[in-house]
Amino acid sequence: MRERPETGSGHRIRAALLAYLPPLLLFLLVGAFWEWIVHARNIPRFLLPAPSVIALRIVTDWQNLLSNAGATLLAASSGFLIGTAAAVISGIVFVYSRTVERAFFPWAIIVKTVPILAIAPLLTIWLGFGIAPKIAVAAIACFFPTLVNVTRGLRSLERSVIDFMTIIHASKADVIRHARLYAALPYLFSAMKITVGMSVIGAIVAEFTGANQGIGTIIVNAGYRQDAVMLFSAIIVTSMATIALFYIVVLVERRALFWPGADIDQ
């Protein structure tokens, strides 16, 4: 009896090790190989800096990196929230009225097909060098995938559920409130897990075309100086920040999809 829980927790630790050890080992192995090849082959720093050099740069330059990454993340996450909210609201409107959907869907596709690289400078001209154009680009990047997924989710009710709602004279608003919104949640999160990364890319692209701060400006400047160490530092900081954002979405998802069998990604 006393041994049961111990073996149980031992089991869990072993399972965790088995899950995290291989990727961790591979990560370290690649890092070690990278470090080794740079030294062994005497690769110049401006071509491919060793991981140790990059790590040192991140540590010494952390204040600069952090404040700029913060600016980018603030823009990205604001744009992400705005774009997602706009997509959810549009999806609900589409479900209310097929006519509105038919009228507006081509516009959504236009927004989707125009390359972000092309609208970013325009938005900078219109909105200035501050945070506004970054938010706009990030929001545009998130909008379409979320709209498509959410609309599909809102329509994903079982036939019998729709019939029952008809039988009890539920209004469109009641069907949305009691059923469609929940049915859409798994689709929404599945879209958000993809678009959260796209919002960061959107914000950085907007920073390329002119901004007073952000990871994008660091990248552009480092590019001019051919400072590969700084470029790598910026890449690493950005991906860590994006991973953090991704896990925030996952955390919210776990709370929001409270009912068993809700996760469509499994």
Question: In the complex, which residues of this chain contact another protein (CB under 8 A)?
Answer: 158, 160-161, 163-171, 174, 178-179, 182, 258-262
Indicate the residue among 224 and 259 with the shorter CB distance to another protein. 259
Indicate the residue among 135 and 184 with the shorter CB distance to another protein. 184
* 73-99: b (≥16 Cβ within 10 Å) or e: bebbbbbbebbbebbbebbbebbeeee
Name the 3-class secondary structure at 65: helix
Indicate the residue among 48 and 262 with the shorter CB distance to another protein. 262
Q: Closest Cα partner for 83 from 175, 194, 177, 178?
A: 194
Indicate the residue among 72 and 190 with the shorter CB distance to another protein. 190
Q: How far is the CB of 15 from another protein (least distance, A)?
A: 25
Task: Locate 219 and state its tokens.
Answer: 């990248």
Indicate the residue among 88 and 204 with the shorter CB distance to another protein. 88
Q: How far is the CB of 145 from another protein (least distance, A)?
A: 23
Task: Locate 165 and state its tokens.
Answer: 């709602």
Q: How far is the CB of 172 from another protein (least distance, A)?
A: 12
Q: How far is the CB of 205 from another protein (least distance, A)?
A: 38
Q: How far is the CB of 263 from another protein (least distance, A)?
A: 12
DSSP secondary structure string for all residues of 36-84: HHHHHTT--TTT---HHHHHHHHHHTHHHHHHHHHHHHHHHHHHHHHHH
Residue at token pair 């390359």:
115
Indicate the residue among 158 and 265 with the shorter CB distance to another protein. 158
Task: Locate 124 and state its tokens.
Answer: 């900078």
Decide: 150 and 87 in contact? Cβ < 8 Å.
Answer: yes
Indicate the residue among 15 and 264 with the shorter CB distance to another protein. 264
CA 260 from chain center: how many Å? 25
How many angstroms separate the CA atoms of 196 and 33, rounded? 31
Angstrom CA distances, 14 to 18, 22, 24, stand at: 6, 13, 15
Q: How far is the CB of 57 from another protein (least distance, A)?
A: 49
Q: How far is the CB of 100 from another protein (least distance, A)?
A: 25
Decide: 249 and 193 in contact? Cβ < 8 Å.
Answer: yes
| Amino acid identity, position 263 | D
